[in-house]
Amino acid sequence: MSNFFLLIPVLMHAETFAFGRNEGSGEGYGDAEAGADNHYSPRLDYSSQRWCHTLSLRNGQASCRSPRGGHHQSALGTWCQLSCDSGSQLVGPSAVQCLPSRRWSRLAYCRQIRCHVLPAIYYGTFSCSDGVFVDSRCDYTCNPGYEIEGDRSRTCLENGKWSGTEPSCGDHEPPKITCPRSRVKLAAPGQLSARVSWDPPIVKDTADTALPDVTLTGPESGSDFKEGIHVIRYKAYDQARNKAACKFIVRVEVRRCPALKPPLHGYLKCSSDGNNYGAVCEYFCEGGYERRGVATRVCQFSRSWAGVAPVCVMLEINTNVRTAAALLDQFYEKRRLLILSTPSTGDQYYKLQNIMLQKAGCGLDLRQVTVIELLGLPPREVGRIKDRHLDPHVIEGLRQAYRITRSYFSMVLLDRYGNDHERFITPTTPEELFSLIDAYMLDEEERERLEKHRDYCD
């Protein structure tokens, strides 16, 4: 082979081969010496410049030193130091000698260093600059949607091993998800919600062929949505559990008219939410009052109410009756009565109570209380409701029905059914009177309406 040469055991220095004396010469040795050793050993010839074949080391160099000196690279006894180029490894001895047998003492050659073949990686590949030889660089790439985890390249080292560690391709890229556009839906007349539908989101993933798992946060498509803004969220997970998310808004609008105010001494009953498109509101008046104007109003698409708001006016009490029963029937289930009696308009209790009742007039109206006054003694006794006078027979009927004396100041509070609820023989403040009425004579609906209008008299 051209890249190695034959080596045999190294001999001693050339002079050791020249023992005894030259044939036919008697110099320096006696007969005894001749008899002692008659072996013939020819002298080696150092004059030949090419005793051994010239060394040729592929992928390496030989640095030689000859006994003759100079550039005699293959003379007998020449020593050569062997070395290999980078990327090659010396197989055999690092030094050889040219022997008398015309061969070099041993065989040696330079073998190229190789690294093992790199294994394939999942979801990726690699390319090498010089195969598996020293200094070959292998660069790794991953399939779309995957990223290198570890060293991006490895190099074959002179020790026959690859640098770094084997990388892998990991899926770190989340899927792509596109939600539908946000939308606005108008509720139908008389409705406070709307049914809203949409197409499912578009989901793609560059790494996985299978579609990612998609989860929804919020109502499903086709659900009824109440008035307001609703955020719909979608999340998508690929096989590596990478997450992508998107969201859009569903807004349901309910067209509304300005909120209606109930009339003074009246109230409203409305359908739906009271002021939404299509809602119908009906006006009612409290006991002792009657409605003047339209009974109902409808909230229109234009966000305005149809018609004009009615008003509640006090009932026209007919005082031209001759019996107390005829008078009381007009208040039955409609108004409460506060009957005040005094023997004289100059009575100090009456004067004080009259001042307080005048100040409490608004609060009495809110509580549906009508004041009847029985003033003086016969034959000048007067009965009146504000400025309207009552027949003497009515006065006498009221006194007898409720046992009202003419001798001293007193007040009788009647409920809406004409029942005697409370009596007073001394003046009472509006606050005490209102507290009594609010606690014992109003139903729940009346209390709610009173609470809404409590600041009306301020």
Share of the chain above pLDDT 90, in %: 63
Pairing of strands 213-217, 266-270: unpaired
Contacts of 107 by beta carbon, 8 Å cutoff, 6+ apart: 4, 5, 6, 7, 92
Alpha-carbon span 153 to 294, nearest angstrom: 89
Provide the CATH topology of domain 1-25+43-112.
Answer: Complement Module; domain 1 (2.10.70)
* Region for residue 222 given its phi and psi (left: phi exceeds 0; alpha: psi -120 to 50; beta: otherwise): left
Fold of 176-253: Immunoglobulin-like (2.60.40)
Q: What is the pLDDT of residue 282?
A: 96
How confident is the model over 347-361, as a mean pLDDT?
95
The encoded tokens of residue 455 equal: 């600041």
Give the per-residue pLDDT at 47: 65
CB-CB contact of 124 with 73 (8 Å) = no
The band of 43, judged by pLDDT with boundaries at 50, 70 and 90, is low
* Cα dist from 299 to 270, 271, 276, 282, 308, whole Å: 10, 11, 6, 12, 12
What letter represents residue 167's amino acid? P
Where do the CATH 2.10.70.10 domains begin and end in the chain?
1-25+43-112, 124-170, 266-314
Rg, C-alpha atoms of the chain: 62
Q: Answer whether 99's CB lies under 8 Å from 11's CB.
A: yes
Do 265 and 203 touch, CB atoms closer than 8 A?
Answer: no
Distance CA 286, CA 314 (A): 9
Q: What DSSP character marks residue 141?
A: E
141-183 confidence digits (pLDDT tens)? 999 888 999 999 999 998 899 999 999 998 888 889 999 999 9
Which CATH superfamily hosts domain 124-170?
Answer: Complement Module, domain 1 (2.10.70.10)
Global pTM reads 0.49
Nearest-angstrom CA–CA distance, 223 and 200: 14
At the fourth CATH level, the homologous superfamily of domain 266-314 is Complement Module, domain 1 (2.10.70.10)
**Where in the chain are all domains bearing CATH 3.40.30.10?**
324-457
Are the CB atoms for 355 and 445 separated by under 8 Å? no
pLDDT on residue 391: 95
Helix (H) or strand (E) holding 373, with range, is strand 369-375
- Which among 434, 443, 415, 441 has a CA at the least distance from the CA of 338? 415
For position 401, what pLDDT does the model report? 95
Task: Express each pLDDT in 216-258 by its tens digit.
Answer: 999 999 999 999 999 999 999 988 888 999 999 999 999 999 9
Say what angle helices 430-440 and 348-359 make with each other, to 10 degrees.
60
Domain 324-457 annotated CATH 3.40.30.10: yes
- Decide: 336 and 413 in contact? Cβ < 8 Å: yes
Q: Which pLDDT score, from 0 to 100, does residue 21 have?
A: 30
**What average pLDDT score do residues 33-44 get?**
42
- Asked if the model's pLDDT at residue 34 lies above 70, the reply is no
Average pLDDT, rounded, for the chain? 86
The closest alpha carbon to 179, from 230, 279, 247, belongs to 247
Mean pLDDT value of segment 282-288: 86
Confidence at residue 211, expressed as pLDDT on a 0 to 100 scale: 73
Tokens matching residue 423: 């009596």
14 compared with 72, residue with greater pLDDT: 72
With a cut of 60, say whether residue 12 has pLDDT above it. no
pLDDT value, residue 300: 95
Band (35; pLDDT cuts 50, 70, 90): very low
Q: Which pLDDT value is given to residue 439?
A: 94
pLDDT-derived band at 71, boundaries 50, 70, 90: low
Query: For 379-413, what is each residue's pLDDT tens digit?
Result: 999 999 999 999 999 999 999 999 999 999 999 99
Give the pLDDT mean for 52-80.
84
